[in-house]
Amino acid sequence: MKKALIPITAALLTFSMLSNSASAQPIPYFAANFCGSASGWCWIFTEMPVEGVMPTAYGSGRLQVRGFAIVREYIDYIDYYGWDYWANTTQDPNTGIWAYRTQMSVGWNDERLAVHMWTSEPIWGIFIDDVDWFVIAMSFAGWYKDAYADIHYIRGNAVVELVGGPDSLFVAIVLLYIGPEHFLTFAWVTEEIAGYPTGYLARSISHRVTVWPIELALIPG
């Protein structure tokens, strides 16, 4: 599981570094189209999925995310993961992310969850067109049916990641928070990982990021 969770740590570290970075003028801007999907078996965590935390259940479901972004090139900090472009409306109001047709539906044991997701202030995201990875902060709302057949309307914040780890491992991860508390995490993985039950692999994971330069009428910062 350590391999699968490396992208979560990397994304949070990179965002922290990004928040404190500064770039010289003039600033080039880029447009980015992004899309991703996952379907089939997924792992479900009731705790934050850090190293050593095991899934509490395995379910089946589908994730779909797509949208458009105005981003800046990330040239102030380079690490193993090579984050290339970012959007952060707190740091630069000229950047932004607009997501549409973004939703997730998963069932496991006697429980089921269906939510739709969208971007809301403050907006941030990271995009890597060379390997088609992206990480986006989002809001979500939808319905959760618990094991007692009670149905709850839920809403909160999410982090959506379609990223890769070492070798050929690829993961799609959705972390859901209600208020400040972690609620559930769903992870689709493409490879067996030592120490975890076999046979719970995603049927498919797709991901695409396309970036191109643009001329932008700037909003005063």
Spell out the alpha helix ranges (H) of 56-186: none
The pLDDT mean for the chain works out to 84
Max CA pair span of the chain: 58
Q: What is d(CA 112, CA 153) in angstroms, rounded to the nearest whole number?
A: 12
Q: What is the pLDDT of residue 2?
A: 44
Listed as ranges, residues in the chain with pLDDT below 70 are 1-25, 75-83, 165-169, 217, 219-221
Question: What amino acid is encoded at 94 in this protein?
Answer: N
195, burial (CB in 10 Å: exposed 0-12, middle 13-18, buried 19+)? exposed
Q: What is d(CA 14, CA 1) in angstroms, rounded to the nearest whole number?
A: 21
Helix (H) or strand (E) holding 123: none
CB contact burial 17-35 (16+ within 10 A = b; e otherwise): ebeeeeeeeeeebbebebb
Q: What is the pLDDT of residue 36?
A: 94
In eight-state DSSP terms, residue 179 is: T
Q: How many residues does the chain have?
A: 221
| Model pLDDT for residues 152-176, shown as the tens digit of each residue | 999 999 999 998 755 556 789 999 9
Helix (H) or strand (E) holding 23: none
Cβ neighbors of 210 (< 8 A, separation 6 or more) are 32, 33, 34, 129
- In the chain, domain spans: 2-17+28-214
Q: Which residues pair with 182 in a beta bridge?
A: 177
Q: What is d(CA 138, CA 84) in angstroms, rounded to the nearest whole number?
A: 20
**Nearest-CA neighbor of 151 among 125, 102, 112, 203?**
112
Pairing of strands 151-164, 111-118: unpaired
Q: What is the pLDDT of residue 193?
A: 77
